[in-house]
Chains A and B, each alone.
Chain A
Amino acid sequence: MNSSFQKRKGYCRKFARKIVNDYFKNNPPIELPIPVEKLATYNGFEIFELDSLGANQRAIFYNSKIENRKLIGINKDYHINNKRFSIGHELGHYFLGHPPEFDCTEDEIKVYNQEADEFSGELLLPLDLLKEKIKEIKNIKELATIFQVSEQALFIKIQNQGLLKHL
């Protein structure tokens, strides 16, 4: 993987941490799992559960610039962990300044989605909090419950952050 992409991933994580820190600074105390819906609402997003999204579509984001309304639609048929991750992902698109999908090439869409995933992963699993918890709890399943994320998402995060040795 090239270094500019690694840098960009680092930027996504840093931005996510800033959003989480800003939220808890103004809405103490720090709580787990990260209250992603409240965090989104705090940042002016409106979230709706949708019945009509196709089975392959997890979420949709619409930014109405005319009225300054940021709308996130979540497929109601997915698991709560997945819904939470999708909210984080859509927040990522917004905060990272990604253009609408129709203005992008397939390759760009792929990169933007990876970035939004990176953002969401950090938002739901902030590194400091994860490091703290991993000292006390060594069980992936238990950790995943505490952070309300899938075990898969947690494992990827632990692996990418070089925290496997703590388990």
Chain B
Amino acid sequence: MQNRRNKLNNPKSFNSLWDYIKLFIRDNSIDTDSISQYCKIEATLFSQLLDNKIRVVDFGPKKIAQLVKYLNLKIEVVRDLLIKTIWLNEQNITIKEAMARYDPNKGLDHKDASMSSGLKELLFKANKVKPLEQLNPNTEQITNNFLIEFDKYYRNS
């Protein structure tokens, strides 16, 4: 439980808003049915969201604004995670071209998941320094448009 709390206190360690929300819900023992009901999201759709199976832009800024208001999440955290989530939704990242170094004393559990998560963050940070040409060049525009709409709904909801 303390690990969970430490992770939530470091939102930068998440690559997706949904991963953060998933842990937040668990940590606060929030009933997902009540979320679905209040935000008018079908239960199946909500679970797909939490599994990162739906693009943020497809879900829409209005529903996200409702959801984060309901959960009372910090807006700065949400905005940072939205930027990251949208960026990663738009890229086709594969761990097949990466190498990793492990600590043999700590086992090899979740090796691929950890590598994938690390690679996403690595590319996200590298792209900030100098845009990676292999990635979708329209992402910034898509993100900006989404955030403008999100802010509007967040203020008014």
Contacts and interface: CB of A to CB of B under 8 A. Distances in A.
The prevalent SS among residues of B at the interface is: helix
A1 interface: no
Contacts of B100: 57, 59-61, 101
By size class, the interface of chain B is 35 or more
Nearest to A56: B106
B18 to A, nearest CB: 14
B90 interface: no
Contacts of A90: 99, 101
The prevalent SS among residues of A at the interface is: mixed
Contacts of B95: 102
A48 B134 CA distance: 19
B99 A98 contact: yes
By size class, the interface of chain A is 20 to 34
A89 B102 CA distance: 11
A51 B10 contact: yes
Given A48-B126, A53-B117, A60-B115, 5 more contacts: A48-B122, A52-B14, A57-B115, A59-B100, A113-B101
Contact of A100 (B96, B101, B132, B133): B96
Contacts of A86: 101
A131 B27 CA distance: 54
20 contacts: A48-B125, A51-B13, A52-B13, A52-B14, A53-B121, A54-B110, A54-B113, A54-B117, A56-B114, A57-B111, A58-B102, A60-B101, A60-B119, A62-B122, A71-B126, A73-B119, A93-B99, A100-B96, A100-B98, A101-B100
B114 A54 contact: yes
Contacts of A59: 100-101
A73 to B, nearest CB: 4
Given A57-B115, A73-B118, A51 B12 contact: yes
Interface in A7-66: 46, 48, 50-64, 66
A67 B134 contact: yes
Nearest to B109: A56
A53 B103 CA distance: 12
Contacts of B99: 60-62, 90, 93, 98, 100-101
A166 interface: no
Interface in A62-113: 62-64, 66-67, 69, 71, 73, 75, 86, 89-90, 93, 98, 100-103, 113
A52 B129 contact: no
A61 B98 CA distance: 6
Given A51-B10, A58-B101, A71 B122 contact: yes
Contacts of A116: 101
Contacts of B102: 56-58
Contacts of A53: 114, 117-118, 121
Nearest to A75: B118
A97 to B, nearest CB: 12
Contacts of B101: 57-60, 86, 89-90, 113, 116
